[in-house]
Amino acid sequence: MWSAIVLILVLTLVPAKGFAQNEKGERIYKQWCGQCHGYEGDGEGYTKRYTFPTPRDFTMGVYKFRTTPTGEPPTDQDIIRSIRKGNPGTTMPPWKRFSDDEVKALTEYIKEFAPDVFEFEPEVIKITPPPFSEELIKEGREIFKKAKCVECHGLEGRGDGKKGWEENFKDDWGERIYPRNYTYPWDMRNGATVEDIFRTITTGLNGTPMTSYQDSLTDKQRWALAYFIKSLQLERHLGISLILKRVEKAPETPDDPLWDTLEYLDLPMGGQVIFEPRDFTPVITNVRVRGVYTEESVVIMLEWVDKKPDRGEEGNPPDAIRIQFPEKIPGGVEKPYFFLGDERHPVNVWWWKADGTVAEYSAKGYRNLQMQDRQNIKAEAEYSYGLYRVVFKRSLATDDENDMVFETGRFIPFSVAASDGREDEDDVRCAVSAWYYMMLEPSTPVKVYVMPPVVAFLVFGLGLVLHKRLSKS
């Protein structure tokens, strides 16, 4: 009799589990996921040609971000983590609006695109970080070289390794893929904490050239590596203005040690999406700006990561960067258009290209660029392990009436545009920044040194007089 009951139970439960309509999951998927991942889960959504990296194809059941050994499918928690936290630097945002139940249902729905893959729950790796120590970082640095991480990720971890540029460096779908640049934590798809990094090293990223190091390195070695990689991350200084200090002698080259002592401003870059050809997939996500000035000239250094230098020799445009200023420092709020100015408000454009060209343009809109008759800028560039540094120099005032005059104490608008030749980026299709300000710091007024002691002395005197008077009476 017992067996009959069990049989009935099994018969009623199995179909219920297998064929239950996951309406909640389906509704959310179709409304909020299908446009990118495809209504059939095949990654063939509306955004396929408009995003980099392209949205995941769920039908293969191959997932990059997991806590499971290499080759294994992710756990539910892994999928939930990707949904909840998103993948930084991609168009996959953190979905916080949905309830836990909804995300659970969505996860079940996504798994149904590759049901065979999810038949068994795989084991999960342990993630318990040892306490941080400088020793670990040191050890990690050694492992980084020995474990051949540099082959793809480059000696300084900027994702500029040689292997990344080989013909067959592709993912399982045949799409181009780039090794991660560790110095930009805001671009780390799988998260930027030391636990996230450890997880990636341990499990590898299925379907990509990033293999698992679970067997080839011990737990401790992988933690050391994770702490080392974490230590390479830059700290972004965001803001709206940069103060340029006055120095006696201007640094002439990008490797001048003075640069590393200066305050900097990081500009988050976006795609130029306003004019054709538009750029939806810019790869330059940050430009760091520093500057100083002397009695005669202003010197500005722009710094950004480009994983492979292109001098324009392979048929694509050369890498380039440009900084623009209004032709005249605006008196009020009104400025030229932030991308290459406009008809009524021309901008000065200082343009450096990796083929060696340095030129000064006047722009009145994106289709109206004119090289200036008088060229007054100089530029020095350096490319080192994935990092471009370009130093522009110009005198504060020039003999060209179309050049902006750098006045101290004024907030001078500037914006930056950068292009990566390998991505066929050029003068219009490029990464752009908003308007920011730089100010040449004026020398401190004398009253700052004089007035406080004078006031302190007067107050002291007053106390003395009161004391004398009152003690007499």
Q: Which residues bind another protein (CB under 8 A)?
A: 31-32, 35-36, 45-47, 50, 89-93, 95, 97, 238, 240-241, 243, 268-271, 273-276, 278, 280, 333-339, 342, 345, 409, 411, 432-435, 437, 439, 441-442, 444-445, 447-448, 451-460, 463-464, 466-467, 470-471, 473
Tokens of 171: 């993912």
Taking the complex as a whole, the smallest distance from the CB of residue 61 to another protein amounts, in Å, to 23
Would you call 122 helix, strand, or coil by DSSP?
coil
Q: Which amino acid is at 108?
A: E
Tokens of 277: 């050809």
Instruction: Considering the complex, state which of residue 190 and residue 206 has its C-beta at the smaller distance from another protein.
Output: 190
Taking the complex as a whole, the smallest distance from the CB of residue 442 to another protein amounts, in Å, to 7
DSSP letter for each residue of 213-274: -TTTS-HHHHHHHHHHHHHTPPPP---SEEEEEE-SS---STT-GGGGGS--EEEE-EE--S
Pairing between β-strand 358-363 and β-strand 369-371 as defined by DSSP bridges: antiparallel
Long-range contact set of residues 172-176: C-beta below 8 Å, sequence gap at least 24: 172/60, 172/62, 172/207, 172/208, 173/43, 173/54, 173/57, 173/207, 175/53, 175/54
Instruction: Considering the complex, state which of residue 91 and residue 231 has its C-beta at the smaller distance from another protein.
Output: 91
CB 340, CB 369: distance < 8 Å: yes
Instruction: Considering the complex, state which of residue 46 and residue 385 has its C-beta at the smaller distance from another protein.
Output: 46
Taking the complex as a whole, the smallest distance from the CB of residue 255 to another protein amounts, in Å, to 29
Taking the complex as a whole, the smallest distance from the CB of residue 142 to another protein amounts, in Å, to 36
Tell me how crowded residue 122 is: count the other CB atoms within 10 A of its CB.
Answer: 15
Peptide bond into 277 cis (omega under 30): yes
DSSP letter for each residue of 304-355: EE-SS---S-SSSPPPEEEEEEESS--SSS----TTT-BTTB-EEEEEEETT
Instruction: Considering the complex, state which of residue 371 and residue 459 has its C-beta at the smaller distance from another protein.
Output: 459
Instruction: Considering the complex, state which of residue 266 and residue 380 has its C-beta at the smaller distance from another protein.
Output: 266
Instruction: Considering the complex, state which of residue 52 and residue 169 has its C-beta at the smaller distance from another protein.
Output: 52
Tell me how crowded residue 20 is: count the other CB atoms within 10 A of its CB.
Answer: 9
Instruction: Considering the complex, state which of residue 165 and residue 437 has its C-beta at the smaller distance from another protein.
Output: 437
Taking the complex as a whole, the smallest distance from the CB of residue 56 to another protein amounts, in Å, to 14
Taking the complex as a whole, the smallest distance from the CB of residue 346 to another protein amounts, in Å, to 13
Instruction: Considering the complex, state which of residue 141 and residue 345 has its C-beta at the smaller distance from another protein.
Output: 345
Peptide bond into 346 cis (omega under 30): no
What DSSP designation does 25 have? H
Please give the torsion angle defined by the CA atoms of residues 163, 147, 143 and 174, in that order, rounded to the nearest 10 degrees: 50
Instruction: Considering the complex, state which of residue 261 and residue 473 has its C-beta at the smaller distance from another protein.
Output: 473
Instruction: Considering the complex, state which of residue 71 and residue 93 has its C-beta at the smaller distance from another protein.
Output: 93
Instruction: Considering the complex, state which of residue 9 and residue 459 has its C-beta at the smaller distance from another protein.
Output: 459
Taking the complex as a whole, the smallest distance from the CB of residue 90 to another protein amounts, in Å, to 7
Tokens of 286: 């940050």
CB 106, CB 95: distance < 8 Å: no
Q: What gap in Å lies between CA 236 and CA 392, rounded to an integer?
A: 22
Instruction: Considering the complex, state which of residue 173 and residue 435 has its C-beta at the smaller distance from another protein.
Output: 435
Chain-centroid distance, C-alpha 43: 24
Please give the torsion angle defined by the CA atoms of residues 99, 100, 106 and 109, in that order, rounded to the nearest 10 degrees: -140
Q: What gap in Å lies between CA 355 and CA 229, rounded to an integer?
A: 32
